[in-house]
Amino acid sequence: MEPTRTGARKVLSVTAYWINFFHRIDDPDRVAAYAKLAGPAIREAGGRFLARGEPAHVLEGGTMCRTALIEFVDVDAALAAYHSPAYQEALRVLGDGAERELRIIPAVEQPPAAPVDQA
CB within 8 Å of 7: residues ≥ 6 apart: none
> Does residue 42 sit within a domain?
yes
DSSP state of 3: B
**Cα angle vertex 43, ends 41, 49, to 5°?**
120
Could you list the residue range(s) of the whole structural domain that residue 41 is in?
A: 16-106
CB within 8 Å of 58: residues ≥ 6 apart: 64
> Does residue 59 sit within a domain?
yes
pTM: 0.79
Average pLDDT, rounded, for the chain: 89
Q: How many domains does the chain have?
A: 1
CB within 8 Å of 27: residues ≥ 6 apart: 96, 97, 98
> Does residue 1 sit within a domain?
no
Phi, psi for residue 99 in degrees, rounded to 5: -100, 120
Say how far apart CA 52 and CA 43 lie, in whole Å.
14
> Does residue 56 sit within a domain?
yes
Say how far apart CA 34 and CA 95 lie, in whole Å.
9
**DSSP H/E element including 14:** none
pLDDT digits (tens, 9 = 90+) for 55-113: 999 999 888 999 999 999 999 999 999 999 999 999 999 999 999 999 999 999 766 66
Looking up residue 84, the CATH number of its domain turns out to be: 3.30.70.100
